[in-house]
Each structure stands twice: as C-alpha cells, then as structure tokens.
C-alpha cells in the first residue's frame, strides 16, 4: 500500500522533527527533501554547475557532513529557485513518495507540486522570531543576523516564480509558535492515523 504524508513549511518551523517522528510512529520511509537542495548547494559552493549537480546527484551527496552549515542552507535556497534544478529533482521525490509501505516527505512544495495527491498534507509554521531563535540555538552566531537570514529565506521561498512556498488548499495547519514538539507531533500523528483508518475502511 502506498500512503504519502506531505509536510511543508518555512525554515525552522519544526517540520523535519515532525516528519521523522511520524515516519517512526507509522513505519514509513522518510525523505528530507531539503537535503537534496542542500547537496546541490554544497556542490555549487565547490564550483559545480547547480543544474549538472542536480542531474547527477548521488546517495553519497546526501550523506555529506556539511549539509547543515549556514552557507550551505543559503546556497540551497538559491539553487531551489532555479527551475532546471527543481525539475531534475522532482522525479526522484515522486518515486520515493509512492513506494510501497508509505512515505513521509518534508519540504516546501510537497503538497502543492511534488505530491498534490498525497493522502495527508500538513503545513507546519511558526513566527519568524521563534524560528530564528530556534536556528540561533542550533547554530549560534549573531541573533539579529539569524533573524535577517530567516526573513530573507522566507522572501526567496515565497517569492520565487517556480513552486513558491505556500500551504496547499487542503493542508492541515500546525502552528508551532506556542506548541512544544510533543504537542505538534501528537497533532500530526492523530491526523495521519485518522486518514489511515479512513483508507482502510474503504
């Protein structure tokens, strides 16, 4: 049985943590689609053409130890705005999503572009200030600059012509601004469980 959970949202909203928890709870495969773009961004920082890097992406690229670095995150947002890069990675994501046994994908256009037919669509968000504080706790640095980076990332992600970040019309909103991770995970899992039960009953 294929069953796809699409989780979208801006940077540092908690969608990755929720996605991993949902995948573990239901025994689904998990793909952090942002790693695809981070891997391409890392290759670009090394001088590679981003389109060529996307088309030639290998599993080893996703296992790099530097994919969480701040400069790689900025590069990922830049390459994600390139239509040819996005096109090169779409087929991989769609194939992963429909594998037998179920899959959870988190990113920025999963419910709107990659898997509009997903059985579950969640949009995880939080205020820019809260997201910046979380990123600062992870990475350190100047707090004001981290907030500026979050605002800049949001502007790029929501303003790009190709697959801008936005909630799918039928997505369930989970706002983690004042919600702890246990509460957010519980809300996500409850929705997934309800949809699984409904599919099994049909």
Give the whole-angstrom CA distance, residue 142 versus residue 120.
37
Convert the pLDDT of each residue in 71-84 to its tens digit.
Answer: 998 999 899 889 89
The answer to whether 199 is a known ligand-binding residue is no
Helix, strand, coil share of the chain (percent; to 5): 55, 10, 30
The answer to whether 9 is a known ligand-binding residue is yes
Convert the pLDDT of each residue in 84-139 to its tens digit.
Answer: 998 899 988 998 899 999 999 999 999 999 999 999 999 999 999 999 999 999 88
Give the whole-angstrom CA distance, residue 31 versus residue 47.
26
The answer to whether 10 is a known ligand-binding residue is yes
What CATH code would you report for 4-201?
A: 3.40.50.300
Mean confidence (pLDDT) of the chain: 93
The answer to whether 15 is a known ligand-binding residue is yes
| Predicted TM-score (pTM) of this structure | 0.84
The answer to whether 14 is a known ligand-binding residue is yes
- Are 71 and 45 in contact by the 8 Å Cβ rule? The answer is yes
Give the whole-angstrom CA distance, residue 77 versus residue 11.
10
């Amino acid at each position: 049985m294929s069953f796809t959970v699409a989780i979208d949202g801006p940077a540092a909203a908690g969608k990755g943590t929720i996605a991993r928890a949902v995948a573990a709870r239901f025994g689904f495969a998990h793909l952090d689609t942002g790693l695809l773009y981070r891997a391409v961004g890392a290759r670009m920082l090394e001088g590679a053409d981003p389109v060529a890097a996307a088309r030639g992406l290998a599993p080893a690229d996703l296992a790099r130890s530097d994919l969480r670095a701040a400069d790689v995150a900025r590069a990922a947002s830049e390459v994600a705005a390139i239509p040819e890069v996005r096109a090169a990675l779409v087929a991989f994501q769609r194939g992963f999503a429909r594998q037998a046994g179920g899959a959870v994908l988190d990113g920025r256009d999963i419910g709107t572009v990659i898997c509009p037919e997903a059985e579950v669509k969640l949009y995880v968000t939080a205020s820019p200030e809260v997201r910046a504080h979380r990123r600062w706790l992870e990475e350190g640095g100047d707090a004001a600059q981290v907030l500026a980076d979050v605002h800049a990332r949001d502007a790029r992600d929501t303003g790009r012509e190709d697959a801008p970040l936005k909630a799918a019309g039928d997505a369930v909103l989970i706002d983690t601004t004042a919600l702890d991770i246990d509460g957010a995970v519980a809300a996500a899992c409850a929705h997934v469980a309800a949809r699984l039960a409904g599919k099994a009953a049909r």
